[in-house]
Amino acid sequence: MDLVPALEEPLRQPLKSVLGPATAKVMAEHLGLLTVGDLLHHYPRRYEERGQLTHLADLPMDEHVTVVAQVADARLHTFASAKAPRGKGQRLEVTITDGSGRLQLVFFGAGVHKPHKELLPGTRAMFAGKVSVFNRRLQLAHPAYELLRGDPEESVETWAGALIPIYPATAKLESWKIGKAIQTVLPTAQEAADPLPDTLREGRGLVPLPEALLKIHRPHTKADIEDARSRLKWDEAFVLQVALARRRHADAQLPAVPRKPAPEGLLTAFDARLPFTLTDGQQRVSREIFDDLATDHPMHRLLQGEVGSGKTMVALRAMLAVVDAGGQAAMLAPTEVLAQQHHRSVVEMMGELAEGGMLGGAEQATKVVLLTGSMGAAARRHALLDLTTGEAGIVIGTHALIEDKVQFHDLGLVVVDEQHRFGVEQRDALRGKGKQPPHLLVMTATPIPRTVAMTVFGDLETSVLDQLPAGRSPIASHVVPAADKPHFLSRAWERVREEVENGHQAYVVCPRIGDEEDDPKKSGKKKSPEGEAEKRPPLAVLDVADQLAKGPLQGLRVEVLHGRMHPDDKDAVMRRFAAGETHVLVATTVIEVGVNVPNATAMVIMDADRFGVSQLHQLRGRVGRGSAPGLCLLVTEMPEASPARQRLGAVASTLDGFELSRIDLEQRREGDVLGQAQSGARTSLKVLAVIEDEEIIAEAREEATAVVAQDPELTRLPALRTALDALLDEEREQYLEKG
């Protein structure tokens, strides 16, 4: 019988458990820790010194926290209640302090006896619980606690200076219990297989993995923690980069049909029709794409560009080049509204070149078809037939393109718009539709800092469009503090009226539709309640549209647009707005990407604090698309000092999406950035911070590329192979869960 390697041993098993079965169950269900190795890689979030107290003023609201503090006083109160009508109810109030701030702990009923005996003034302990506000004071109700008692052998100095690891914990399992479980399995760290090649580790002066694990969980000094973190950051960066380098390497081995545009074909005819010249950036990026398309390996390119930098034009020219070369091109959009919008604008830009097979179509023309889930059966059958016969050179559609029924005559290029909405597996499903792997162009208008691009899209080459085409106007952005200064909001509606009087149009964006049942659980309650604004549900499209039409925007033509409308109704609303028949469109974020109405110059975003930084930047990009300057007003009820207001201030202060995405990432950390695009192993990053550790990521990419070039199967590096399988295995699990 094979012995299970020590680190792969399950924490919970029928015959013998490494930990108590109850602890192992909580670890599996709440922290995703299944094996001894998982537990050893559950690193402390921070460290407290026994002699130092946690700074209580910085505690986050509504989050599970662990603090080290000293009991200042403890009082037992009796009170009458329904359960104890004779005044026999008991409440223990304990005040703990860090020397400057104070925090109230509350225990009720039978739960008061033990803390009443143990939490005497002067006692130091670790306390864990959820921070809430009661009577305008911070409190922890029924916290778990662990007394900090000195070992009789220890001197006061060593005791006070000892570093206590504080682990990411849950209400069901406190940090110190996780710490004890880790101490139980820590001896097996000696058997940890080191994924870093020796030459790399020695060359960079990194400690071996067993030593790093010991030092991160049981540090004697702050230097120990530093050594451990430097080493573990390299593990994360390197293993991730090896995964991406292997994907790049495998893709480079695949054959693809080179697609070179015919000299006097469709592309030449299209360029001749353009009423403007392409920007230098568009020409540069187009050259990079055409060079890739001409090779016999599939192109894998990420095209990043600011909102309105002309990415669609670059993508369309690439699609025309492929059609010219006898292939077909497919563009995948995340929503029906966007697919219809792209289809409409492509057909308009191409004119008679999009009328292949029709009377009046140009000689080089092709057919451009739309394919979405809500199309009628007849229209859908027609579209599918045009794809199978090759009659349609270009197809634009939603997820419906990925379905098994969809067959292409000769798929040569796949363009994916707004990549962060599509997982790697969807990209692959569409690529599988070609007789040979088609070329791939991925577009995103969410500017991604270089390192994030390297970590998330490391399997793609990157092109950046960073200049706006001529004729785009500047956008002025302002925060409107509706609670502090209500007259600012009145002025906002006056500005909208002024824009309409000058012949322009406006958007009003709300976080919610408003036809859902008002379930208090779903009413938009977020973490960190920052004042009253958080307590009410987010503003809704249907309510706001109604109030505006009867109030400040009376007399203007106001329409609504949201995701639950019938696709034909959505399309009709967008057509009326684009034609200038509607003055004000009140919408959800369905207008976030791709909607192009050059005459719309103003946007008012209600409850702007409920949106992320990149989302606000995307939304704002819908105005100022014509010759008149744009105006974006961010309405919020958040108090001036709140983080939400600082975030809105940042959005108002710059139009540089790359700068904003850095701010966004520094505030949110990279969990969801990696999570969305990488379907990634529960943000596979634990110690690596994408922005701070830029250098490590770039160096790890070089090292990984060199290792994979020499040994693509990693036969000489079995420990690295194992680490890689663990990372990808988790990704596979994620795919299944999503499926």
| Angle 357-358-361 from CA coordinates, rounded to 5° | 95
pTM for this model (two decimals) = 0.69
Please report the pLDDT score of residue 8 as a whole number.
Answer: 72
Average confidence (pLDDT) over 179-185? 90
Q: For residues 403 and 519, which has the higher predicted lDDT (pLDDT)?
A: 403
Average confidence (pLDDT) over 663-670? 65
**What residues have CB less than 8 Å from 566, skipping those under 6 apart?**
374
pLDDT grade for 533, boundaries at 50, 70 and 90: very low
| Residues 440 and 300 sit within 8 Å (Cβ to Cβ) | yes
Question: Does 679 score more than 60 pLDDT?
Answer: no
Question: Does 503 score more than 90 pLDDT?
Answer: yes
Q: How buried is residue 67: exposed, middle or buried, by Cβ count under 10 Å (0-12/13-18/19+)?
A: buried
**What residues have CB less than 8 Å from 668, skipping those under 6 apart?**
612
Question: Does 568 score more than 70 pLDDT?
Answer: yes
| Residues 670 and 685 sit within 8 Å (Cβ to Cβ) | yes
Alpha-carbon distance 298 to 310, whole Å?
24
Question: Does 725 score more than 50 pLDDT?
Answer: yes
**What residues have CB less than 8 Å from 622, skipping those under 6 apart?**
307, 507, 591, 592, 595, 596, 597, 600, 603
Structure tokens, 294 = 């001409």
Question: Does 138 score more than 50 pLDDT?
Answer: yes
Q: For residues 391 and 153, which has the higher predicted lDDT (pLDDT)?
A: 391
Question: Does 672 score more than 70 pLDDT?
Answer: no
Question: Does 648 score more than 50 pLDDT?
Answer: yes
Question: Does 732 score more than 70 pLDDT?
Answer: no
pLDDT grade for 673, boundaries at 50, 70 and 90: very low
Please report the pLDDT score of residue 3 as a whole number.
Answer: 40
Please report the pLDDT score of residue 85 as a whole number.
Answer: 63
Radius of gyration in angstroms for the set of CA atoms belonging to the chain, rounded to a whole number: 30
| pLDDT tens-place string over residues 281-304 | 999 999 999 999 999 999 989 898
Please report the pLDDT score of residue 527 as a whole number.
Answer: 43
- Give the position of tokens 């295995």: 729
Q: List Cα–Cα distances, 515 to 113, 161, 342, 562, in angstroms.
A: 50, 58, 28, 11
Phi, psi of 531 (to 5 degrees): 85, -170
Question: Does 534 score more than 50 pLDDT?
Answer: no
Q: List Cα–Cα distances, 459 to 429, 698, 702, 717, 730, in angstroms.
A: 16, 14, 13, 21, 19
| Residues 524 and 538 sit within 8 Å (Cβ to Cβ) | yes
Average confidence (pLDDT) over 500-508? 95
Alpha-carbon distance 408 to 399, whole Å?
15
The continuous run of DSSP H or E covering 248 comes out as helix 222-253
Please report the pLDDT score of residue 641 as a whole number.
Answer: 75
Please report the pLDDT score of residue 302 as a whole number.
Answer: 87
Average confidence (pLDDT) over 404-415? 90
**Which of 81-85, 106-110, 137-141, 625-629 has the weakest average pLDDT?**
81-85
Task: Quote the mean pLDDT of the chain.
Answer: 83
Alpha-carbon distance 598 to 469, whole Å?
13
Percent of the chain with pLDDT over 70: 84
**Which of 207-216, 524-533, 602-611 has the weakest average pLDDT?**
524-533
Question: Does 734 score more than 60 pLDDT?
Answer: no
| pLDDT tens-place string over residues 450-477 | 667 777 677 778 888 877 666 667 889 9
SS3 664: helix
pLDDT grade for 154, boundaries at 50, 70 and 90: low
Question: Does 186 score more than 60 pLDDT?
Answer: yes
Please report the pLDDT score of residue 2 as a whole number.
Answer: 35
Please report the pLDDT score of residue 337 as a whole number.
Answer: 81
pLDDT grade for 208, boundaries at 50, 70 and 90: very high
